[in-house]
Amino acid sequence: MFKALSHWLDGRTGYKALIHEALEEPIPGGAKWKYVFGSALSSTFLIQLVTGILLMFTYSPSSTTAWGSVYYINNQMTLGWFVRGVHHFGSQAMIVLLALHLIQVLIAGGYRAPREVNWWFGMGLLFITLGFSLTGYLLPWDQKGYWATKVATNIAGGTPILGPAIQKLALGGSEYGNQTLTRFYGLHVGLLPGLLVMTLAGHIALFRKHGVTAPKNAKGMGHFWPEQVLMDIVASLAVLGVLVFLVVSEHGANLDAPADPSSSDYPARPEWYFLSLFQMLKLFPGELEVVGTIIIPGAIVTMLMLMPLFDKVLPGKLAHFLACMLVFATVGAAGYLTYAAMDEDANNQGFQQAREKADTERQRAIFLAGSPEAGIPPEGSAYVLLRDPLSHGKSVLTKKCLGCHFFEGKGQPIQGDDGKEATSPQVASDLTGFGSYSWIRGLLEKPSDPKYFGKVAGAGGMAGWKAKSKLTSEELDKVAAFVATFAQIPDDVTSDEWTVDPVVFAHPGAELFVNECGKCHVVNGLTEGGEDSPNLFGWGSTRWTKRMIQRPGSVDLYGYMDPHQQMPGFAGQLTENDLTTLVKFLQGDYPKE
Amino acid sequence: MTRRKLFEVLAIGLGNVMGLVLAIPGIAYFLDPLRKMSQSGGFESLARLGQLQVGVPQSFAVIAARQDAWVKYPKEPVGSVWLIRQPDGSQPAVIAYTAECPHLGCAVNLGKDGKSFLCPCHNSAFKFDGKPVNQVPPRGMDTLEVELTKDDDPQVLVKFDRFRTMSKEKTPLV
């Protein structure tokens, strides 16, 4: 049955002759392990093609959706982490195999006449593969891809004359955004694969025309099928085995926090195989930069391209020797620079700290993306961290508030006199737990403690009260518990509505509060107040705290203080999101792991 | 077995191993949507009973939060529903039809005469009791579960679900 069918098909297509032609290629000197690199590269490209197409089924190229879709592949889909991991490590295997293939061909003299054109096809494939790396790195739109690509495209932009136009075309404008992603995506999944397949077809066709570069003393004749094919398959399987091992042991590929163009301390590094170029830039500062970015790489590429022509001007052995030396020197220098770059980072505390911070952000972003309380909003993945009180609110607190206030016993990190890390001096209260029972209870216990008003000039009112007050510890507990309820008053409840709620007066601390605190503090509808002090209606609530941050000098807050001693108002200096996340951070209102 | 035959068997065998190492995770990944369950919402308030006129269909948007793959959408319109209040004393007091046509899922609207439902895509037509008037739809309009709150002017709560199209039976999508 099968025979009849294959006979019929062969009659119509002639496929048997085609397969025979493809497999029965003679190999002078027989099959050899050193011939496997080209086939292993082709197999790895197939792996990239298969995993790449699978990723395309989910990946969504836009600055709002790219990170989210990659997160979804990595963390939500069945074996998505495996598919993406194989693609990620496969791209690195391509580079390693390319280098090995190139060196093998070089040593065998496979670039020399009559195979010059095929060497150039190989060079073309090398550049296409590097193009895949550069374009693919950006696609997750995470911090790593964003900053590395920014550096790479700025290098391209620094090329004399055409640079700015090339850069603008690559980015799809002068800013990094949706157009950058769609253009890189088009290159990565459309143009480059097409070019690669066509060039590879030419490469293989020419290879078949000239055959392997057999050793001079080669004896006998082997065949592609099955000896060489078996070796090729064993090599490809070994590559796949290494990939699977890497993917499983690393649990897939890393996904950094969503791209944030405003981050000031992201330690951008390219993928390891570009580290040597990255490091070389440091050797050519200022005006000389172009030597490191364009001239040296350009010279190496030119030499590689011209290599087959060395034989025309030099004696054969010398030409081969020089070609090998050129490549070995390049590989050696690249290896040294890569080591230098890694060594420098390993000993750079600033880099380590910045990387640690980036990792904290990465973990937080991934946690939030999967949290039912947060998730990725439709506005885009950049908002995952931007709307997070623990990430953004805390950062606003550190930048805007901790110059004076403390949080968890510390101010802003600064460099101390001895060069070590220190904290900015405290001139205002510690905001840890502000608005909570424990904060207010601690204040009532010792207002002059540095945690409260001890460091605040002109805020001795509470300390004055404490010196005279006769309230017992239990009574203070009750008062503190009552004041802590103020933070729970919803923003849309007016003081009139609140004071008529019988629950308010029924609180065991209410009467004590009115008699003791009400002599100074106003609470709309509850106490009349008296001496200089802020209105406590809604103290610690979102409404009160936002107003305190924006207009602390209002008459109902600290307007009674000397303007020099008042807290500076932040109205107009914070966005609505800054303010909301800051207040929620102080209130401890954010998704927790 | 000759050496050549052994090589052939090994080459084909190992080639298949390689294919399977990629194909099995690849297929599992590709079939991932089959594992994901559709989200069934709870009861959402659409209107107050007093807003509805007896026997007159009125269209309401269903407002619900939803998760679309990686994006979490806040509450916003996700579908529309026809509510028809029944004469006082009858059970149920309100009938809710999803506006999704049981034929191929287009949004069913009122006919020109205002006395029947008509789907603008393939002219499926239904009476107000949900029964089909022509041969186009496979079944009548799909009713949704309705609950009334205990207020004086009760709120009409509807549980929004989706059903398989092109089938005689009303089967919820999972």
Of A71, A226, A378, the CB nearest to B8: A226
Distance between CA A354 and CA B127 in Å, rounded?
Answer: 67
Chain A residues 233-292 with a CB less than 8 Å from chain B? 233-234, 236-237, 240, 244
Token pair belonging to A299:
């010279």
CA nearest to B4 within chain A: A226
Q: Are A146 and A261 in contact (CB under 8 A)?
A: yes
Q: Which backbone phi and psi does B98 adopt, to 5 degrees?
A: -70, 145
Distance between CA A164 and CA A173 in Å, rounded?
Answer: 10
Domain boundaries of chain A, sorted by first residue: 28-268, 280-347, 437-587
pLDDT at A63 over 90: yes
Question: Is the previous residue joined to A114 through a cis bond, with omega within 30 degrees of 0?
Answer: yes
Token pair belonging to A80:
């998505």
Length of chain B: 174
pLDDT class of A289 with cuts at 50, 70, 90: confident
pLDDT at A241 over 90: yes
Distance between CA A16 and CA A3 in Å, rounded?
Answer: 12
**Residues of chain B contacting A234 with CB distance shorter than 8 Å:** 14
| pLDDT tens digits along A30-51 | 899 999 999 999 999 999 999 9
Q: Are A563 and A555 in contact (CB under 8 A)?
A: no
Contacts of A391-399 with CB under 8 Å at 24 or more apart are: A391/A361, A391/A364, A392/A577, A392/A578, A392/A581, A393/A580, A393/A581, A393/A582, A393/A583, A393/A584, A393/A585, A393/A586, A393/A590, A394/A585, A396/A574, A396/A578, A396/A581, A396/A582, A396/A585, A397/A431, A397/A582, A397/A585, A397/A586
Select from A230, A243, A383 the residue whose CB has the most chain B CBs within 10 Å, as the one to mutate to test that interface: A230
**Residues of chain B contacting A378 with CB distance shorter than 8 Å:** 71-74
Q: Do A225 and B22 touch (CB under 8 A)?
A: no
Q: What is the distance in angstroms between the Cα of A153 and the nearest Cα belonging to chain B?
A: 29
Q: Are B8 and A227 in contact (CB under 8 A)?
A: no
Q: Cα angle vertex A496, ends A493, A497, to 5°?
A: 45
Chain A residues 311-370 with a CB less than 8 Å from chain B? 369
In the block, residue with structure tokens 């990239």: A48
pLDDT at position A449 is 94
In the block, residue with structure tokens 């209107």: B47
pLDDT class of A24 with cuts at 50, 70, 90: confident
Q: Do A233 and B22 touch (CB under 8 A)?
A: no
Distance between CA A224 and CA A396 in Å, rounded?
Answer: 66
Supply the mean pLDDT for chain A.
93
pLDDT class of A332 with cuts at 50, 70, 90: very high
Q: Are A275 and A155 in contact (CB under 8 A)?
A: no
Cα A160 versus chain centre, distance: 30
| pLDDT tens digits along B6-62 | 999 999 999 999 999 999 999 999 999 999 887 777 898 999 999 999 999 999 998
Q: Are B161 and B40 in contact (CB under 8 A)?
A: yes
Q: What is the distance in angstroms between the Cα of B173 and the nearest Cα belonging to chain A?
A: 20
- H helices of B31-173, where? 32-35
For chains A and B, what is the number of CB pairs under 8 angstroms? Answer: 82
- Alpha-carbon distances of A391 from A360, A382, A573, rounded to whole Å: 10, 12, 19
Strands B117-118 and A221-223: unpaired
Neighbour-count burial for A96-114, b at 16+ CB within 10 Å, e otherwise: bbbbbbbebbbeebbbbee
Of A58, A233, A375, the CB nearest to B18: A233
| pLDDT tens digits along A528-585 | 877 788 999 999 999 999 999 999 999 889 988 888 889 999 999 999 999 999 999 9
| pLDDT tens digits along A257-275 | 999 998 888 999 999 999 9
Of the candidates B109, B100, B84, the residue with the CA atom closest to the CA atom of residue B160: B100
Q: What is the distance in angstroms between the Cα of A369 and the nearest Cα belonging to chain B?
A: 8
Phi-psi region of B123 (alpha: psi -120 to 50; beta: other; left: phi over 0): left
Of the candidates A440, A434, A461, A565, the residue with the CA atom closest to the CA atom of residue A519: A461
Of B14, B69, B74, the CB nearest to A72: B69
Chain A residues 77-106 with a CB less than 8 Å from chain B? 77-80, 82-83, 86
Distance between CA A171 and CA A236 in Å, rounded?
Answer: 36
Strands B143-148 and B43-48: unpaired
pLDDT at position A42 is 96
Q: Do B71 and A226 touch (CB under 8 A)?
A: no
Q: What is the distance in angstroms between the Cα of B15 and the nearest Cα belonging to chain A?
A: 6
Token pair belonging to A259:
């791209």
**Residues of chain A contacting B32 with CB distance shorter than 8 Å:** 77-78, 80
Strands (E), A12-82: 26-28
Query: A590, exposed or middle or buried, with CB in 10 Å at 0-12, 13-18, 19+?
Result: buried
Q: Do A50 and B30 touch (CB under 8 A)?
A: no
Token pair belonging to B159:
């549980």
Distance between CA B128 and CA B117 in Å, rounded?
Answer: 7
| pLDDT tens digits along B88-127 | 888 889 999 999 999 999 999 999 888 999 999 999 999 9
pLDDT at position A471 is 92
pLDDT class of B131 with cuts at 50, 70, 90: very high
Is residue B100 helix, strand or coil? strand
**Residues of chain B contacting A30 with CB distance shorter than 8 Å:** none
Q: Are B81 and B62 in contact (CB under 8 A)?
A: yes
Q: Do B29 and A244 touch (CB under 8 A)?
A: no
Cα A280 versus chain centre, distance: 23
Strands B109-110 and B94-98: unpaired
Token pair belonging to A328:
């070995």
Q: Give strand pairing partners of B7.
A: none
Contacts of A296 (CB under 8 A, 6+ apart): A280
Of A43, A68, A79, the CB nearest to B29: A79
Check if A230 contacts B (Cβ < 8 Å).
yes
Helix (H) or strand (E) segment spanning residue A161: none
pLDDT at A441 over 90: yes
Q: What is the distance in angstroms between the Cα of A237 and the nearest Cα belonging to chain B?
A: 6
Q: Do B26 and A50 touch (CB under 8 A)?
A: yes
Please give the average per-residue pLDDT across A334-355, as a whole number.
Answer: 95
Q: What is the distance in angstroms between the Cα of A135 and the nearest Cα belonging to chain B?
A: 23
Of A71, A234, A244, the CB nearest to B70: A71
| Best CATH choice for the domain A28-268 from the list 3.40.630.40, 3.40.50.2000, 3.50.50.60, 1.20.810.10 | 1.20.810.10
**Residues of chain A contacting B74 with CB distance shorter than 8 Å:** 377-378
Is residue B72 helix, strand or coil? strand
Q: Give strand pairing partners of A415.
A: A421
Of B26, B69, B72, the CB nearest to A377: B72
pLDDT at position A499 is 87
Q: Do A375 and B8 touch (CB under 8 A)?
A: no
**Residues of chain A contacting B8 with CB distance shorter than 8 Å:** 225-226
Q: What is the distance in angstroms between the Cα of A282 and the nearest Cα belonging to chain B?
A: 40
